[in-house]
Structure formats: C-alpha cells, structure tokens
Amino acid sequence: MPELPEVETTRRGIRSALRGHRITGMVLREPRLRWPVDPGLVTGLPGQQVRDVRRRAKYLLIELERGTLIAHLGMSGSLRVLPAVAPLLAHDHYDLLLDTGRCLRFNDPRRFGSLLWVTGDPAEHPLLARLGPEPLEREFDADYLAGKARGRKVAIKQFLMDQHVVVGVGNIYASEALFRAGISPRRAAGRVSAVRLEDLVGAVRDVLAEAIRQGGTTLRDYVNAEGTPGYFRQKLYVYERAGEPCRRCRTAVRQIVQGQRSTYYCPACHK
Ligand SMILES: [Zn+2]
C-alpha cells in the first residue's frame, strides 16, 4: 500500500510534468473507483492550467485555475506521466491529457483509489478537515505529541497511526520509528515519557525523510511516477523481518498483531 513517502515521491515525480501546463482532455475509462468519478470532469477540466501539485497526508492536490483535484492512490494505485499514446495496461482507469503530448495516467487494480473535484478550499473538504498535522512540519513536535498522548491508554503504535494525531505514519513507518526511538510498540501512549516522545518525533521525521530520499519502500505493487520501485526496503530494521536477527543486537525480531495490523519489534532494543 502506498504510504506517505510513496505519495510524496509520486508528487515530486509528476509535479514538474504538470505545473504550468494545460489540460487538453480527460479520458475516463472506469469511473467506479472508491467513490464514483464525476463524469463532468471530462468536459470541465480541458483548458485549465495546472497551478501546482501539493500533498496533504496521502492525498495529492492538483491545483487548477478553477478548483482542485484530490487524488488518492488507495491500496494499489499509481500515477505516472507517460506519452499520451503509450499502450494501455489492464486497470488504467483515467488519463489527464497535457499540452505537452504526455498524460497523467492512473492505474489501480483494486480500485480503492479516488479522484474528487472541489472548487472551494480543499483543506475544508470533509476528508481533509479533521486530519492531524503533517509529520515533517514544525507543528508536529514533542509538546504537541505529549498533549495528545496525555492519559491515553491506547498502545503507542496504534496512537502513532491515528490520522487525527499525525498523518501519514503507516504500518511500516510506525514499527520502524518506534524501533529507532527504543520504545515498545505495546506501551500505553500516555505512559511514554516526554523525553522519549521527543526521540519518537525525531525518529518519525528521520524514517519518513529517508524513505522519501530513497523513493519509498519497495512493495509488491508499488511503483513511483517513473515506474521504478523504491529502495527503502533495504534500510528497514524490523518491518517484515520476524525471526531474523535485529540489526543492532542480533536478538530475533518479533511479530505481534495490534489492531489487526502486524507490528515488528526487537524485544531487547527498547527500555
Ligand atoms: Zn535489538
């Protein structure tokens, strides 16, 4: 599943191809995504110039002259910039044709992705309005996290994955950040000391920034905007390494289930 680093990698990959260019057409082959794609876009988008491509959590915001497209990759989606004449693959659901002769093409075998259109401030859209801060921005700091964690009995790993606390820390990066900060994923959020929360904020930032630098983590069905896999998988300390030796202390990595998701941790590396 594309997580924040994969979405940010996609944003960087498509931004230069889109920004300042005009949409000349839209081909909608399959409107039945997570939510139906408005067929009015086929006539409404052509002629509009792309002002910028931003990101909020795992949503890509394609800002046009008269509104914003909110695109989500879902579980298995990818957005690529290709020549408009490039042969179609199975599950290619829409193309935004550009004045450069290229297109932005969305492929998604599982169709949990989405494409929505808003004319007002996208930050006020119900999908975005109640999200927590971005993990790589200043707002996300130890004081903020301590305030949110106070009195909470939920396990720190699930707390960290709560989009109302902070966005974009998915399963892989939550396990990795907790390992780096030396915090047991099972510890109650409200019982993690302020000093350790500070370490955790640093670890979340580091792990996400490194993953973005590496182009995301290689997942079975993930490719970035250039169609190449990410390389962050080689840097993972614990994720999907159950039974393998911890890269720090050689103790076998353990796997447990929390909130229906696998958590990986080293039982010796946390205090
Ligand atoms: Zn260890």
pLDDT tens string, the chain, 271 residues long: the values are: 888 988 998 999 899 999 999 999 999 999 999 999 999 999 999 999 999 999 999 999 999 999 999 999 999 899 999 999 999 999 999 999 999 999 999 999 999 999 999 999 999 999 999 999 999 999 999 999 999 999 999 999 999 999 999 999 999 999 999 999 999 999 999 999 999 999 999 999 999 999 888 876 644 444 555 555 556 776 789 999 999 999 999 999 999 999 999 999 999 998 7
213 is catalytic: no
11, 56, 58, 105: the catalytic one is 58
pLDDT at 224: 53
The answer to whether 134 touches 143, Cβ cutoff 8 Å, is: no
Identify which of 142, 1, 137, 118 has the alpha carbon closest to the alpha carbon of residue 58.
Answer: 1
Rounded to the nearest angstrom, the distance between the alpha carbon of 238 and the centre of ligand 1 is 9
Residues in the chain: 271
Tokens of 45: 């988008």
pLDDT at 229: 54
**pLDDT tens digits along 108-121:** 999 999 999 999 99
pLDDT at 214: 80
H or E segment at 123? none
pLDDT at 235: 78
The Cα–Cα gap between 94 and 107 comes to 8
pLDDT at 231: 63
139 is catalytic: no
2, 133, 135, 185: the catalytic one is 2
Torsion of CA 25, 28, 34, 37, to 10 degrees: 60
The Cα–Cα gap between 205 and 59 comes to 19
pLDDT at 227: 54
The Cα–Cα gap between 246 and 27 comes to 49
The answer to whether 52 touches 15, Cβ cutoff 8 Å, is: yes
Q: Report in angstroms the alpha-carbon separations of 230 from 21, 79, 119.
A: 27, 14, 34
pLDDT at 270: 86
pLDDT at 213: 85
DSSP secondary structure code for residue 191 in this structure: G
pLDDT at 215: 76
Tokens of 3: 């997580």
Whether pTM exceeds 0.85: yes
Identify which of 155, 157, 190 has the alpha carbon closest to the alpha carbon of residue 172.
Answer: 157
110, 111, 233, 261: the catalytic one is 261
Rounded to the nearest angstrom, the distance between the alpha carbon of 266 and the centre of ligand 1 is 5
**Residue 264 backbone dihedrals phi, psi, to 5 degrees:** -120, 135
153 is catalytic: no
pLDDT at 218: 47
3, 6, 8, 176: the catalytic one is 3
Rounded to the nearest angstrom, the distance between the alpha carbon of 195 and the centre of ligand 1 is 20
In degrees, to the nearest 5, what angle opens at C-alpha 208 toward C-alphas 206 and 209?
A: 65
Rounded to the nearest angstrom, the distance between the alpha carbon of 107 and the centre of ligand 1 is 39
Identify which of 53, 231, 209 has the alpha carbon closest to the alpha carbon of residue 135.
Answer: 209
Contacts of 42 (CB under 8 A, 6+ apart): 25, 26, 27, 28
First to last CA, the chain: 31
The Cα–Cα gap between 119 and 116 comes to 10
Rounded to the nearest angstrom, the distance between the alpha carbon of 185 and the centre of ligand 1 is 14
185 is catalytic: no
Rounded to the nearest angstrom, the distance between the alpha carbon of 179 and the centre of ligand 1 is 8
